[in-house]
Structure 1
Amino acid sequence: MKQLQIVQVAYDHTDLSLLIRQLDEYLLERYPADEVFGIDDPSQEDITFLVAYSGGRPAGCGAIREIDRDSTELKRFFVHHDYRNQGIAEAILLELEFKARNQGYKCIKLEAGEAQPEALNFYRKHGYYPIDRFGKYAECASSVCFEKQLG
């Protein structure tokens, strides 16, 4: 595996913007546009954005955004298809979980969908369990929501 580096970046970082565009294209191949949930105001200070670089090239990204004092939400989690199955998603997820713990959160929630079985399996493998749809996902029939308690 090429050298992996995970960097915290600002919401308007060029590499993050590129990866999020690729993520949106990927999601729009699987879901109607009104079922693709981005971040309403990405400049919020309570959002932590990460970019993973493999061999110096942007390979994946992820973010956590506060829901309430105890909970954060995993957002914009993506690894470009050229870099999948190399442990990059796991490395990003573990770093985001570490940051969430350090920020005092007790759990991480997320939303995905049945059209992404590989993502659902990944989350289950990493200790996430299904919960009722929450927040803006409550009325979206294709949304599948998960949670993990942070120890």
Structure 2
Amino acid sequence: MIRIERTTYKNEHFPALVAKLDNYLSETDGDEHDFYHQYNGIESLNHVVIAYSDEVAVGCGAIKEFDSDTVEVKRMYVSPETRGQGIASLLLKELEKWTSELNFKNCILETGKRQPEAIALYTKNKYKVIPNYGQYKGMENSVCFKKELTP
């Protein structure tokens, strides 16, 4: 059984999951990893979700305010040995629920063209491709998504 917990960046399991994510991204992003990494600090993430399977932390995600109507989904990760079980969708749905509770209307995010599993996840969860925003403008590897949440 999977349990989703709401927490913050101070949760003891979050940095370890993020380290695994960063190791994966350093391989897939190649020379561009340093550019992306500079925007992925966790110290300001006060809305974090962690997935536990038999009390072992196996996945995470976070949201942070982007503007008055929108949050940005950050640091989505599920450990390779537990992928394919719907955990990422559970994490995403909990982040969307939390977003609505905080009175935001939209979720946006960026992922890489070299992460086809992530692109499939967001497409399956009704995220739409949008023009690259903010620091991702002009980044050929970036794909940005948006989902308008229903009240």
Q: TM-score scaled to structure 2, two decimals?
A: 0.92
Q: 2:5 aligns with which of 3, 7, 15?
A: 7
- Give unmatched runs, 5+ long, in structure 1: none
Q: Partner amino acid for 2:14?
A: L
Shift of 1:14: 2.0
Q: Deviations over 1:7-48 (max 9, x none)?
A: 1222132210110000000001101322434434x333x731
Q: Deviations over 1:81-128 (max 9, x none)?
A: 011011111110100000001111111000001101111011111100
Q: Do 1:49 and 1:64's aligned partners in 2 also have CA atoms closer than 8 Å? A: yes
SS in 2 for 1:136: helix
Q: Deviations over 1:53-103 (max 9, x none)?
A: 011101000000100110000000000001101111111010000000111
User: Distance in 2 between the 1:55 and 1:116 partners?
Assistant: 27
Aligned residue-pair number: 147
* Residue aligning to 2:21: 23
Mapping of 1:60-75 within 5 angstroms? 60-75=59-74
* Residue aligning to 2:54: 55
- Give unmatched runs, 5+ long, in structure 2: none
Tell me the C-alpha RMSD between the 2 structures: 1.4
Q: Do 2:7 and 2:46's aligned partners in 1 also have CA atoms closer than 8 Å? A: no
Q: Do 2:62 and 2:74's aligned partners in 1 also have CA atoms closer than 8 Å? A: yes
* Residue aligning to 2:34: 34
Mapping of 1:1-150 within 5 angstroms? 3-31=1-29, 32=31, 33-37=33-37, 38-40=39-41, 42-44=42-44, 47-150=46-149
Q: Partner amino acid for 2:113?
A: E
User: Distance in 2 between the 1:62 and 1:122 partners?
Assistant: 13
SS in 2 for 1:86: coil
